[in-house]
A and B are shown apart, each in its own frame.
Chain A
Amino acid sequence: MSAPGSLTASDNAASSDAARFDAVVVGAGPAGSAAALVLARRGHRVCLLERGPYPGSKNMYGGVVYPRILDELLPGWWEEAPVQRWVTRRATMMLTADQALTVDFRSEAWGQPPYNGATALRPDFDAWLAAKAVDAGALLVTSTTATGLLRDGPGGTVGGVTTDRPGGDLRARVVVACDGVNSFLAKEAGLYGKPDPANYTLGAKEVLALPAATIEDRFALGPGQGADFEIIGCTGDIAGGGFLYTNRDSLAVGVVLHLPALAAAGVRPEQLIAGLKAHPAVAPLVAGGELVEYSAHLIPEGGYDMMPTLTGPGMLVAGDAAAMCLAAGIWLEGVNFAIGSGMAAGESAAEALERGDVSEGGLSGYERRLRDGFVLQDHRRLRHAPHLLLSDRVQRRYPQLACDIVEDLFTVTNPEPKPGIGRLVRRRVASSGVRLRHLAADSWRALRTFG
């Protein structure tokens, strides 16, 4: 007894064509939704597969998104993108046990179109971007996990994915794996080498609810403006860093911890977050915040050197699944790289489908696009940044040295006369145990990395 003209589930079950697509995009995060959007706009039949009940539901993210990459894909995106606050203030803090040195910058231009970066809640942002793909014609299937690859094409070409549902084979001519940092699909396809824990960090964060007006008062922000604090020297003996971001009516405060060092230290991440929140420079900013969320997630911070092979026969890898997360100290970016790589994957897959060649060679346009654009250029240029930033000297000795020098500089010791700055710096460097040749070598490495 069906309504006239209605399409019932059993009707579809009877049709094997229902589970046959031009492309299956696994993961409805920024990379997956961008890929699906591009493919759908090119007229291809796309299935966007998401394991959570809705896009963004599985995301743990406490950062800033830089969505200018959307200028071309979604002109005027800022008028509708669900952002929390436009970041107009960026600060880098160096902490010791009882000192803090902050480089603080703000720009009113970042609070106006086309904006620069924004804090966003990923359940909002990802759902918005996925809805664009659905509007363009992609079929979003939620609560369904891709469990493996179908390899039934010539030469082991990937021909779809298996899922955790009964009768769950999804057949497609191209699979775009955007299944996150632990990409089981890329690993199954043999695109990753042996995993090295040193390439990963663990991000752990708390979300603290505070009234919007309180946040604006504490961080000296106008309505709708946001702040982004990156912090080093707050993770004890564990290499890593901290962060503090302002959402509309909450703060995201947390730490990012080098995985092997965290395992060796035997310290729990929440202990480090508690320590960060108790620091005299941070405590007044987060005081009174009500804990509404605690979460943790792996981050592929190894950068360029840990990236997998990006293309296989019938398959592309994008976003975190391809380790496209830039952790370069002053630049901590991921969503823009995910969108950029997803767009490139979508365009390359569409081209390959239209040519009828989804072999590894047919999909090679993907890597070319990435190399010609910011995604691989930035990663390649900054490939040594993670190693430099996670070194012991950058993590602990330099923050202490910088704070001590600045403390000396601003401490008035009358009746003694003021020392010369050069003498003061030399004295502190000598007492810090940092050798000048190390300082020079690190400066040179920094210049080569960031210059």
Chain B
Amino acid sequence: MTVPAAPGPAPAAAPGPVLACRQWADRRADVDPLTGTVTSDPRSAAASPADDAALECALRMATAWGTHVVAVTVGPPGSEAVLREALAAGAERAVRVDAPEPGDAASVAAAIAGVAGMVGARAVLCGDMGWGRGSGAVPALVAAVLDARQALGLVDLATDPEQPGVVTGWRRLDGGRRQHLRAAAPFVASVEGGVALLRRAPLAGVLGAGQATIEVVAPAGTCPVPSWTPSSTGPGRPRTHVVDGPDPDDPVRRRVELLTGLTAERPARRVVRAEPVDAAHQLIAALADWGEWS
């Protein structure tokens, strides 16, 4: 399924920097199975493989677009380690949003969006999940705050030097399917850890990063998050349907066909190209036709 870029501002000829988000978290946090208490050691904290992949994508993107990378994290002074890694690998500038704890997704998103505005970023890249396998909501919230396009959960990301500000990529869908995306800046993208392997930082970069100045800014508050009331917090238990069985007098073959639907007529496959809202309506209508939506 190919989704063309939605109408928006024309791609910028000389885009601003690419913002690479890096979450600082303990890789080996110990969770007490009885109390749920989390004990973490800042020394084993690091960026996740997905954040490393996002940084690598940002560096490649910046090279292709003729711009530079700004690395950002939200956390205490200890989190500057992940920024220095980014500087060593090739980021030109690093910003830490000062926070004793990273906070919830809304406050982290607001902080990142604030930095994106501060540096004039045209693209924001994040890992799709950190070590804590959180909600994954931060990139979408950043996109909402920035009113930018979003391309989330990418398993492949490519840039074209001939089209600065434009990326193409694939993302994973349910059922083993893939969706091809094309997005023009400004956009927020999140990538899986396997998208790219972070380059080995050169020694000169490491030496320079150790002494580089990290900009520290205050948190920007929080961003509006859609509120909802969960209908249920337990496991999903769909109702059972009473389905009439085939006539027991039918031959075995006929009964197997009826039970498995092997020979049943299926509606013709249709490929629909539509705007998201219209596509959603068409999906609902199709489900209703099939008796799967009431």
Contact = CB atoms under 8 A, between A and B. Distances in A.
Contacts of A11: 208
B165 interface: no
B73 to A, nearest CB: 15
A354 B3 CA distance: 68
Nearest to B70: A1
Interface stretch (A164-172, A228-236, A275-283, A369-377): A164-172
Contacts of A163: 203
A9 B212 contact: yes
Contacts of B43: 53-54, 57, 123, 127
24 contacts: A1-B17, A1-B70, A1-B119, A2-B92, A3-B213, A6-B213, A7-B211, A7-B212, A9-B204, A9-B208, A10-B90, A12-B205, A12-B209, A12-B212, A13-B205, A14-B204, A53-B43, A139-B210, A141-B207, A144-B206, A163-B203, A165-B201, A165-B202, A165-B203
Contacts of A9: 87-88, 90-92, 204-205, 208-209, 212
A165 B92 CA distance: 19
B24 to A, nearest CB: 13
A18 B202 contact: no
Interface string A32-68: 0000000000000001000001100100000000000
Contacts, number: 95
A9 B89 CA distance: 8
B22 interface: no
B110 interface: no
Given A8-B87, A165-B200, A141 B210 contact: yes
A239 interface: no
A19 interface: yes
Contacts of B202: 13, 165-168
A185 B198 CA distance: 28
Interface of B: 17, 43-44, 46, 68, 70, 87-88, 90-93, 119, 200-213, 215
Contacts of A10: 90, 92, 205, 208
Range of interface residues on chain A? 20 to 34
Contacts of B90: 9-10
A19 B204 contact: yes
Nearest to A127: B43
Contacts of B119: 1
A160 to B, nearest CB: 11
A351 B205 CA distance: 31
Nearest to A57: B43
The 4 closest A-B pairs by CB, nearest first: A12-B208, A6-B213, A13-B204, A9-B208
Contacts of B201: 165-166
A12 B207 contact: yes
Interface in A373-387: none
B52 to A, nearest CB: 13
A163 B204 CA distance: 11
B204 A140 contact: no
A19 B207 CA distance: 7
Given A8-B93, A11-B208, A165-B201, 7 more contacts: A8-B87, A9-B88, A12-B209, A18-B204, A53-B44, A144-B206, A163-B203
Contact of B215 (A3, A127, A168, A170): A3
Contacts of A6: 93, 212-213, 215
Interface of A: 1-3, 5-15, 18-19, 47, 53-54, 57, 123, 127, 139-141, 144, 163-170
A3 B87 CA distance: 13
B209 to A, nearest CB: 5
A50 B245 CA distance: 71
A3 B205 contact: no
Nearest to B215: A3
A106 B227 CA distance: 64
A170 B204 CA distance: 9
B93 A3 contact: yes
Contacts of B210: 139-141
Contacts of A164: 200
Contacts of B209: 9, 12
Given A3-B213, A5-B213, A13-B202, A18 B68 contact: no
Given A6-B215, A54-B43, A139-B210, A1 B68 contact: yes
A53 B17 contact: no
B213 A170 contact: no
Given A6-B93, A9-B87, A165-B202, A18 B70 contact: no
A54 B26 CA distance: 14
Contact of B93 (A1, A12, A57): A1
Contact of A53 (B46, B213, B215): B46
A8 B203 contact: no
A14 B44 CA distance: 31
A8 B211 CA distance: 8
A8 B92 contact: yes
A166 B200 contact: yes
Contacts of B211: 7, 12, 139
Contacts of B91: 9
B68 A165 contact: no
A14 B207 CA distance: 11
A12 B206 CA distance: 9
Q: Which of A7, A12, A139, A140 has the most CB of B within 10 A?
A: A12
Contacts of B207: 12, 18-19, 47, 139, 141
A191 to B, nearest CB: 25
A6 B210 CA distance: 12
Contacts of B70: 1
B114 to A, nearest CB: 16
Contact of B203 (A5, A7, A19, A140): A19
A128 to B, nearest CB: 11
A167 B213 contact: no
A167 B212 contact: no
Nearest to B120: A1
